Amino acid sequence: MSSTTGRFLYYYKIPLGTLGFIDENDALTHILFPNSVIPDGAVIRETPLIRQAFAEISEYLSGDRETFDLPLAPKGTPFQEKVWQALQTIPYGQTISYQELARRVDKPTATRAVGMANHHNPLPIVIPCHRVVGKNGSLTGYAGGLDLKRYLLALESRQHILL
């Protein structure tokens, strides 16, 4: 892959809506849902990494990919980054509770803080925050909406669901 210096943003339409991808210095930093805030300073330009990210997301959504091979560089607080690293250990097709996620980051009483870190995940789908559910298995919050969360979980469990 060629070296790309700067912050580049490009959008693609997919069956679920429009997704934006941000490549910053050859690492994916954001995947944007339609209601996402666009980080300052991004130049609209498709890059090889953005094309790769779109291809991998497309393969994932068609059921042909379970993991991603993308260089990631999410930026957050040390606590957020720890939560985002823990999210990446949740296997495809499985879910855990916010309480379990808090335990995994050594903050067993910090379920609300874990929920907020989940909410601020800049790389949804690739960093699978959709795999975190309420203690009783209920679907709770998702930046892309609960219908999309339900769809992604059904996709991973090989169930068919329409949005």
Domain that holds residue 124: 78-156
- In DSSP notation, 43-82 reads EE---HHHHHHHHHHHHHHTTS-SS----B-----HHHHH
53 and 121, same domain (yes or no): no
Looking at residue 163, its pLDDT comes to 45
- Number of independent structural domains in the chain: 2
Candidates 129, 143, 148, 153; catalytic one:
129
67 found inside a domain: no
Looking at residue 3, its pLDDT comes to 62
pLDDT tens by residue, the chain, 163 residues: 456 688 999 999 987 788 999 999 999 999 998 878 888 888 999 999 999 999 999 999 988 999 999 999 999 999 999 999 999 999 999 999 999 999 999 999 999 999 999 999 999 999 999 999 988 777 877 777 788 888 899 999 876 555 4
129 is a catalytic site residue? yes
57 and 93, same domain (yes or no): no
